[in-house]
A and B are shown apart, each in its own frame.
Chain A
Amino acid sequence: MNLFSFIGDFSTFLVRSIIVPWKFKTTKWRILQQIYSIGIGSLPIIVVIAVFTGLVSTVQTSYQIIGSVPRYIIGTTIGRMVMIELGPILTALMVSGRCASSMAAEIGTMRVTEQIDALETMAIDPYRFLNLPRIIATFISVPILTIIAELVALGSGAFYANHFLNIPFGVFNYGLTHFFYARDFFGGLIKALFFAIVIAAAGCYFGFKVKGGAKEVGRAATYAVVTSSIGILLFDFMVALVIFG
């Protein structure tokens, strides 16, 4: 399969997974289960990642610019870095590593054990039954996780600035809020929405397309993570170009 046929197949798969009769009454529980698995399940690792993101970005920023600019610029720089780039990207990459692989493995196993064929036999649309809840759940969870990550990263950054750089919270907050642009905030969240679709679609696609046995399932999980990671960076650039370019 060359690149063009892969992109065509992937896009068709995504559209096919979304444009189905949603049957919300029956799908609701499956969506909630997936939100629990993707959103709440990823929360601890996202918080840990966000704490260190805030700390490291404060250390690096202060190392590079302190002494040559007013101290409140530390708050401005960290705020914009976290909102525009670090928050959405790191959250998406973590969710990709944790969930895209799991989706591919789960659906792939169902494929090789012919459970998906069984669903079709019972007149249950596997796209609606397996893919739609995962896509919707990821679409809801990733922006929420991004917001939490941003909040935690800014909090840890402010903490470090206050305790180790002698930058009072008020000064940090002044830099953070004074140069705040709503575009930065919403731009980061729009990125998160695109990343969510890429993560869920890649996980489901590679799981759905498995042919063979356990080895192929493992390979599908790897492909899902690699493809979603590349897709995240690609969409990061594209969205940045449209919103901030």
Chain B
Amino acid sequence: MYRTWRETLVGIFIIAGIVLFIVLYIWLSGRISLRNTYDVTVYFRDVEGLRVGDPVMVLGLEKGQVKSMAIDSVDVKTVLAVDQAIRLPVDTKISIRALSYVGADKYIRITPGVDSQTTTEFRGMSEALNLESIGSKIDSIVQVFKGLDVNAFSDVAADLSRNISKDVTRLVDMMKKPTTRLTEVIDRTDQTIAHVDSLTMLLQGSGTFGRLAKSDELYSELQETNDALQGLLVDIKENPGKYIKHLNIKVF
């Protein structure tokens, strides 16, 4: 009994060790996933260091991971395990992005489209920042600059500087003439304004003109006088004898 019990315990210990070994390996290698997923195939020209297990982000949320990658003629056939709830329309955009500017970590970015039809096969593109390619481009630019004659550049710069200097001098001269004439016009305008001011003061002041200009009584009297004169003239025209019968004009 004792022996059987110990044998059983040892058996459990060894089997537990083997099971834990398998569980630990599967867990650490990222094969354990509680997600209910389906496969989406994407063809890339170049995966630029993407690895199995890299995250798949749908609208910024992690919704799957890279399941497998294999070269398929000229493309890399990449299979993504995407959450069952995510449906991808045919106009969905799939790209490889870099998690950071300095790190080599990549992820798959999915921007779902709006089409009513869905599919599981896409063509993806790489939008990851590739420092190596940028470096090589900078190198080629540097090579182009190295091939240029710096002395030729300095001559061109000197000519350009001289021409600009001449043009600026001419521009300043041209601007000086209108300025003189403009000063004359301004002087004259000042004089005119002074005259207008004195006239205004004359009209508004306490002198005769001022009082005449500002008196309402005078205005009404003048108006009445004018009306009376007009009536008189009309009457003279209609009845000239009335005014001329008493008038004896003798020439001789």
Contact = CB atoms under 8 A, between A and B. Distances in A.
Interface stretch (A178-186, A196-204, A218-226): A178-186
Nearest to A174: B55
A186 B30 CA distance: 16
Interface string A160-186: 000000000000001011101010010
B25 interface: yes
B28 interface: yes
A214 to B, nearest CB: 30
A157 B53 CA distance: 22
Contacts of A40: 9-10, 13
A185 B10 contact: no
Interface in A83-128: 83
Nearest to B33: A177
B54 interface: yes
Given A32-B7, A33-B6, A140-B14, A180 B20 contact: no
A32 to B, nearest CB: 5
Interface residues of A, number: 26
Given A177-B29, A178-B30, A35 B53 contact: no
Contacts of A32: 6-7, 10
B187 to A, nearest CB: 74
Contacts of A43: 13
Main secondary structure of the interface of A (DSSP, over half): helix
Given A177-B53, A180-B29, A185-B28, A148 B7 contact: no
A177 B6 contact: no
Interface string A20-62: 0000000001001101100110010000000000000000000
Given A147-B20, A148-B20, A178 B54 contact: yes
Interface in B11-28: 13-14, 16-17, 20-21, 23-25, 27-28
16 contacts: A32-B7, A33-B6, A36-B10, A39-B10, A39-B13, A143-B17, A143-B21, A147-B24, A150-B24, A174-B55, A177-B28, A177-B30, A178-B30, A178-B54, A180-B29, A182-B29
Interface of A: 29, 32-33, 35-36, 39-40, 43, 79, 83, 140-141, 143-144, 147-148, 150-151, 174, 176-178, 180, 182, 185, 189
